[in-house]
Structure 1
Amino acid sequence: MATERNLIRRHTAFRRFWLARAVSLIGDGAAMIALVLLVSRGDHAGTGVSLILLAESVPRFFGPLAGALADRVGVRALLITAELVQAAVFAVIVLARPGLMALVALVVIAASASTVFSAAGRTVVPRLVDEPDLMPANAWLGTAFNLQAAVGPVLGGLLSAWTGPRGALLLNAVSFLLSAALLTRIPALPSLSTGTRSGMKGLFADTAEGLRHVRGNRVARAIILLLLLGVFFGSLDNLALVFLAEHALDTGEFGFGILSASFGVAMVASSLWLVRAAEHRSPVWVFLFGWFFTGLGLLLTAAAPVLYAAVAMQMIAGLGNGVANVGEETLLQKAVPVEVLGRVGGTLSSAAFLGSTLGYLGGGFLSPDTHPRLAFVIAGAGIFLTLALCAPGVLTARTTPTPAAGPPAQDDPDPTPSAADKELGATP
Structure 2
Amino acid sequence: MSSFQLFRENPAFRRYWTARSVSLVGDGVATVALLLLITGSGAGATGVAALLLAQAVPRFFGPIAGALPDRFEVKRLLLLAEVGQGLAFIAIALVPSNTALLVPLVALSSALATVFNAAGRTVMPRIVEEPQLMPANAWMGTAFNLQAALGPVLGGTVAALLDARGALLINAVSFFVGAALLLGLPKMEPVAASGGDRPGFLAGIGAGIAFTWKHRTARAIFLLLLFGIMFASLDNIVLVLLSRDVLDGGPFGFGLLGTGSGAAMVAASLWLTRPTAKVSAVTLLAGGWILAGVGLLLTGAAPVLAVAVITQAVMGVGNSIALIGEETLLQKAVPADMLGRVGGSFSSAAFAGSALAYGIGGFVAASISPRTSLFIAGTGLIVITLLCLPALRAGGRTDVNAPEDGPAVDAAASPTA
Give TM-score, length-normalised by structure 1. 0.91
Structure 1: how far apart are the matches of 2:358 and 2:201? 32
SS of 1:276's partner is: coil
1:337 equivalent in structure 2: 335
Q: 1:3 to 1:388 in 2, by over 3 A?
A: closer
Structure 1: how far apart are the matches of 2:198 and 2:414? 21
- Range moving further from structure 2, 244-253 or 42-51: 42-51
Structure 2: how far apart are the matches of 1:32 and 1:237? 20
Structure 1 residues 361-391: Cα deviation after superposition (integer angstroms, max 9, x where no partner):
1112223586000010000100111012111
Select the residue among 300, 315, 337 that pairs with 1:302: 300
Structure 2: how far apart are the matches of 1:378 and 1:406? 42
Structure 1: how far apart are the matches of 2:219 and 2:24? 28
- In the TM superposition, residue 183 of structure 1 has moved relative to its aligned partner by 0.6
- Kept in 2, the 8 Å contact 1:76–1:189? The answer is yes
SS of 1:151's partner is: helix
2:161 equivalent in structure 1: 162
- In the TM superposition, residue 100 of structure 1 has moved relative to its aligned partner by 1.8
Structure 2: how far apart are the matches of 1:396 and 1:196? 31
2:19 equivalent in structure 1: 20
1:126 equivalent in structure 2: 125
Structure 1 residues 91-127: Cα deviation after superposition (integer angstroms, max 9, x where no partner):
1122333632121111111100000000100110011
Structure 1 residues 30-51: Cα deviation after superposition (integer angstroms, max 9, x where no partner):
1011011001011332211111
Structure 1: how far apart are the matches of 2:368 and 2:72? 51
Structure 1 residues 227-280: Cα deviation after superposition (integer angstroms, max 9, x where no partner):
111100001111110111111111211111101111111111100000115653
- Kept in 2, the 8 Å contact 1:266–1:318? The answer is yes
Q: 1:75 to 1:5 in 2, by over 3 A?
A: same
Select the residue among 406, 410, 413 that pairs with 1:405: 413
Structure 2: how far apart are the matches of 1:281 and 1:243? 36
Structure 2: how far apart are the matches of 1:304 and 1:6? 41
Question: Percent identity of the aligned residues?
Answer: 51
2:408 equivalent in structure 1: none
Structure 1: how far apart are the matches of 2:385 and 2:65? 28
Q: 1:4 to 1:93 in 2, by over 3 A?
A: closer
Structure 1: how far apart are the matches of 2:70 and 2:269? 28
Q: What is the 5 A alignment of 1:186-201?
A: 186-194=185-193, 196=197
- In the TM superposition, residue 171 of structure 1 has moved relative to its aligned partner by 0.6
Structure 1: how far apart are the matches of 2:3 and 2:117? 29
Select the residue among 374, 379, 382 that pairs with 1:381: 379
Q: 1:406 to 1:250 in 2, by over 3 A?
A: closer
Number of matched residues? 405
Structure 1: how far apart are the matches of 2:204 and 2:297? 41
Structure 2: how far apart are the matches of 1:32 and 1:126? 30
Q: 1:340 to 1:186 in 2, by over 3 A?
A: same
- Kept in 2, the 8 Å contact 1:240–1:369? The answer is no
Q: Flag structure 1 segments of 5+ consecutive residues without an equivalent.
A: 408-419, 422-428
Q: What is the 5 A alignment of 1:57-72?
A: 57-72=56-71
Q: 1:56 to 1:348 in 2, by over 3 A?
A: same
Structure 2: how far apart are the matches of 1:169 and 1:5? 32
Letter in 1 for 2:102: L
Give TM-score, length-normalised by structure 2. 0.93
Letter in 1 for 2:190: S
Structure 1: how far apart are the matches of 2:358 and 2:310? 24
SS of 2:191's partner is: coil
Q: Does 1:349 align with 2:357?
A: no
Structure 1: how far apart are the matches of 2:124 and 2:3? 19
- Kept in 2, the 8 Å contact 1:240–1:368? The answer is no
Structure 1 residues 297-350: Cα deviation after superposition (integer angstroms, max 9, x where no partner):
001111110111111111111001101010000001111001110000010011
Letter in 2 for 1:223: I
Structure 2: how far apart are the matches of 1:216 and 1:51? 36
- Range moving further from structure 2, 186-195 or 129-138: 186-195
Structure 1 residues 50-91: Cα deviation after superposition (integer angstroms, max 9, x where no partner):
111000000001000000112211110000000011011111
- Range moving further from structure 2, 157-166 or 365-374: 365-374
2:262 equivalent in structure 1: 264
- Range moving further from structure 2, 366-375 or 50-59: 366-375
CA RMSD of aligned residues (A): 1.8
Structure 2: how far apart are the matches of 1:181 and 1:154? 25
Structure 1: how far apart are the matches of 2:365 and 2:396? 43
- Kept in 1, the 8 Å contact 2:226–2:352? The answer is yes
Q: 1:4 to 1:167 in 2, by over 3 A?
A: closer
- Range moving further from structure 2, 111-120 or 360-369: 360-369
- Kept in 2, the 8 Å contact 1:133–1:279? The answer is no
2:231 equivalent in structure 1: 233
Q: 1:406 to 1:222 in 2, by over 3 A?
A: closer
Structure 2: how far apart are the matches of 1:81 and 1:404? 30
Structure 2: how far apart are the matches of 1:47 and 1:101? 12
- Kept in 2, the 8 Å contact 1:243–1:368? The answer is no
Structure 1: how far apart are the matches of 2:151 and 2:204? 35
Q: What is the 5 A alignment of 1:277-316?
A: 277=275, 280-316=278-314
2:242 equivalent in structure 1: 244
Structure 2: how far apart are the matches of 1:281 and 1:389? 21
SS of 1:250's partner is: coil
2:50 equivalent in structure 1: 51
Letter in 2 for 1:297: G
1:115 equivalent in structure 2: 114
SS of 1:367's partner is: helix
